[in-house]
């Protein structure tokens, strides 16, 4: 018996924002309260990758689960719905804390996959990735999330809207031309594919 999700897809966005502008601001404030770091790329060692400004310019911080339980609950519920309706992966769960990301003017993240070919330093297999736009789109220009897919162009995200995608899809955030783009990024995992 093969389980078929209702609307099979490797890319799915919520129809409406899942967080209000005020909730987005609360997440931004919490992101700013945490220790920030320049983002690394890749998983080439146990330290979690290397700095490479040719590949990525982003400031990040991590939001501990215990700081925003309601936010995590909402994200989990939404991810489970998206998985049930579109992806159909088994045993999907919250495995890693959310990454608050800030792309300043000139910030970007070049083409990459969120699940590494070599998974030995990764938590349970990353299968679904998520981005929630926290900024109001009027606050920045550029900084579009793009996918290397045939035709399947994602929508321009609204503030508080979430997009979920298969972690094996190549994607990028193109250069921010004006303002600051703030988003919340998460990865969800489960048992290995079988």
Chain residues binding Fe ion by CB under 5 A are 114
Nearest-approach distance from CB 131 to Fe ion, in angstroms: 8
Shortest distance in whole angstroms from residue 185 CB to Fe ion: 7
Coil/strand/helix, residue 51: coil
8 Å CB contact between 4 and 87: no
The answer to whether 91 and 191 have CB atoms below 8 angstroms apart is yes
SS3 at position 167: coil
Judged by beta carbon, residue 23 or residue 58, the one nearer Fe ion is: 58
Residue nearer to Fe ion on the CB measure, 29 or 52: 52
Cβ 171 to Fe ion shortest distance, Å: 6
Q: Please give the structure tokens belonging to residue 186.
A: 């998460």
58: three-class secondary structure by DSSP:
coil
Give min distance, CB of 1 to Fe ion, in A: 33
Query: Which residue do the tokens 């220790």 mark?
Result: 35
Q: Which helix (H) or strand (E) holds 93?
A: strand 93-94
- Residue closer to Fe ion, measured from CB, 102 or 114: 114
Give whichever of 21 and 37 is closer to Fe ion, judged by the CB atom: 37
Q: Taking the complex as a whole, how short is the minimal distance between the CB of residue 173 and Fe ion, in angstroms?
A: 8
When the beta carbons of 26 and 112 are compared against Fe ion, the nearer one is 112
| Sheet arrangement for strand 108-112 | 56-57, 108-112, 171-173, 145-147
């Amino acid at each position: 018996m093969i389980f078929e999700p209702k609307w099979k897809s490797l890319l799915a966005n919520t129809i409406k924002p899942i967080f209000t502008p005020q909730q987005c601001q609360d997440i931004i404030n919490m992101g700013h309260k945490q220790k920030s770091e320049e983002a690394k790329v890749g998983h080439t060692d146990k330290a979690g990758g290397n700095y490479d400004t040719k590949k990525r310019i982003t400031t990040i911080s991590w939001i501990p689960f215990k700081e925003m339980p309601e936010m995590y609950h909402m994200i989990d519920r939404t991810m489970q719905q998206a998985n049930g309706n579109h992806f159909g992966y088994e045993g999907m769960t919250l495995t890693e804390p959310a990454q608050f990301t800030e792309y300043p003017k000139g910030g970007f993240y070049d083409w990459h996959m969120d699940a590494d070919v070599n998974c030995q330093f990764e938590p349970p297999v990353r299968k679904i990735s998520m981005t929630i736009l926290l900024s109001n789109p009027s606050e920045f220009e550029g900084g579009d999330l793009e996918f290397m897919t045939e035709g399947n162009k994602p929508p321009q995200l609204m503030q508080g809207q979430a997009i979920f995608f298969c972690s094996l899809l190549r994607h990028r955030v193109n250069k921010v031309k004006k303002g600051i783009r703030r988003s919340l990024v998460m990865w969800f995992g489960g048992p290995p594919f079988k």
